[in-house]
Chains A and B, each alone.
Chain A
C-alpha cells in the first residue's frame, strides 16, 4: 500500500463543488439571495387597484363556466378558418424557405460567407418580435390575414432554420462522409447523406411550428393582422367575455389536438 493511498484510506469522499473557489461560491449565493429580496421589495403593487381588478378578473373566469359559442358563431367560424389558412400557409412557406437557409447556416456544410449570411437572416428573424413585424406589415399591406401570413412565415424562418441548422451540425459525420466518398454530387450528398439524418427533426419541428403559428395567429389579430385574434379582440372590445372564453377554449382545444397529433407523428418517425 503506497503512502498516498494510506493517507486517503478512511477519509470521507465528497463530490467536488461546481464552483471551485469557496469565496466566489458564497458571494454568488448570498448575492443571489440579496438580489431576490431587493427585487421583490422594489415591485410596487397598488393593492386597492388589485382589489377592484379582482372582480373583473373573476367575471372573466366565470365566463369560462358559461362560454358562448353560439351568438357569434359565424364570426368565430370565419376567424378560425382564416387563422387555420394563415397558420398552414405560413408554416408551408416558412419551411420551404427555411430548409435552404438552414443548410447555409450549418457550419459543417456551408462555406463561411454563406454561413454568416444565413446566420444573419436567422438572427434578424429571431430578433424582431412577431408583434412588431405584424404592426409594420399591417402598415404596409393594410388590415387582414395577408399581413398575418407574412409575419408568421417570416418568424417561422428564424425558428426553423436555427433549430434545423443545429441538427445538421450534429449529424453523424461518417454517414455523410461515406456518401461523399462514392463520388456523389453536392445535392445527392445532401439527399442521401444529410436529409435522412435530419428528417425526424424536420417533421417534429414543422408540427411544432404549425401549432405555434396557430397560437400566434390569435395574438396577431390584436394588432389587426386578421384571423381568430381579430374575432377575439372584437369580443373583448364589446366586453363579451363569454364569447371571448369560447374562442380561447377553442384555441386551447386546437393547440392540444395539434400537440397530440405531432406526438403521434413523431413517435412513428424514428
Chain B
C-alpha cells in the first residue's frame, strides 16, 4: 500500500511541479495518471522512488517513509519499486538478458554483477519472465536490435524481476503504434493482476487509459484535479484537467484503432 502525504516539489528555478499531493493507492490497484505535458506526472512518480528529491511531504510504501531514507535504505526501497520508462530506457549496448538481470542489481554484490555471475534463481526467473513477455529467443540479442514493442517488454521484465510491490510506469506507450500500445497496456494490467501489484501509469492517451485501469487521477499544474473510476471521466472533467477542447472523441470506449493523440 502506497500513501502520499502532502508531496510537494519546487524546482530550484522556482517552478512548482507538485503541490501538496495526497493519495492512497491500495495493493493491486492500477492507476492512470493523466494531465497535460508539464503537469508534474513524471515528477510525481520520480518523487516516489526519489530519482527526483521531493521538497516536502511523505511517500510511504508499506509503512516506510521513503522521503526520509538514507542512501542505503533508499537503495533497498528502490528494489521494491519497479520502473518502466518512456522510450524504454534499456541500456542499448547490453544484451536483453543483461538488461533484465540489471533489475537484480539491488540484490547482488558488485563483483557478482561485474562478472555477470547472477544466482541461478535470478537467471531462471529472467528466463521465465522473458518467456512470459514472449522474448525468450531474444535473450542474447543486444537491446538495440529490438523493435519498440519488444524493447518495452524487456523494460517490463526488468521491472518485474525486482519482485516489486509497486510499478511506476512513465508513459509506456508514448512511442509505440496503437496496436502495440494496447498489447503493452494489457500486459502490464495482466501482470499486475497475477502478482497483486499496484501500479501508477503516466499516460497521455485517455481512451487507452480508460480501457485498462481501475482508477484515473487527473493532475493539472501539480495539483490533483480529479480522482475516480474511469467511467466517471466526463467531457467536463477533461476540460478541468486539460482546458477547453472538444472531448467527445477522446473519451468513450471505442473499438476501432485510433492514432494516439
Which residues of A line the B interface, CB within 8 A? 172, 174-175, 177-185, 187-189, 191-193, 196-197, 199-200
Contacts and interface: CB of A to CB of B under 8 A. Distances in A.
Specify which of B83, B87, B89 lies most central, judged by the most chain A CB atoms within 10 Å of its CB.
B89
Given A174-B85, A185-B105, 10 more contacts: A178-B85, A179-B102, A182-B78, A184-B102, A189-B105, A191-B110, A191-B113, A192-B113, A193-B91, A197-B91
A181 B105 contact: no
Given A187-B110, A191-B113, A192-B102, A182 B91 contact: no
Given A181-B83, A187-B110, A192 B91 contact: yes
A172 B92 CA distance: 10
Contacts of A178: 83, 85, 89-91, 102, 155, 158
Contacts of B10: none
Given A180-B51, A196-B92, A196-B93, A188 B85 contact: no
A183 B106 CA distance: 4
A182 B105 contact: yes
Contacts of A196: 91-94
B105 A188 contact: yes
The 9 A-B residue pairs whose C-beta atoms are closest, nearest first, are: A183-B106, A183-B78, A184-B105, A178-B89, A183-B79, A196-B93, A174-B89, A181-B83, A183-B75
B59 to A, nearest CB: 14
Given A175-B92, A178-B90, A185 B85 contact: no
Contacts of B86: 174
Interface of B: 49, 51, 75-79, 81, 83, 85-87, 89-94, 98, 102-107, 110, 113-114, 155, 158, 162, 168
A177 B86 CA distance: 12
Contacts of B94: 192, 196
B255 to A, nearest CB: 34
Main SS of the interface on chain A? helix
A183 B77 contact: yes
Given A188-B113, A191-B114, A192-B113, A181 B93 contact: no
B102 A182 contact: yes
A104 B76 CA distance: 26
Contacts of A180: 51, 78
Nearest to A173: B89
A185 B74 CA distance: 11
A189 B94 CA distance: 13
Contact of A175 (B76, B91, B114): B91
25 contacts: A174-B85, A174-B89, A175-B89, A175-B91, A178-B90, A179-B105, A181-B51, A181-B78, A181-B81, A182-B79, A182-B83, A182-B105, A182-B162, A183-B75, A184-B75, A184-B102, A184-B105, A184-B106, A187-B110, A188-B110, A188-B114, A189-B105, A191-B110, A196-B92, A199-B93
Contacts of B76: 183
Contacts of B107: 183
A46 to B, nearest CB: 58
Given A180-B51, A192-B102, A192-B105, A185 B89 contact: no
Contacts of A175: 89-92
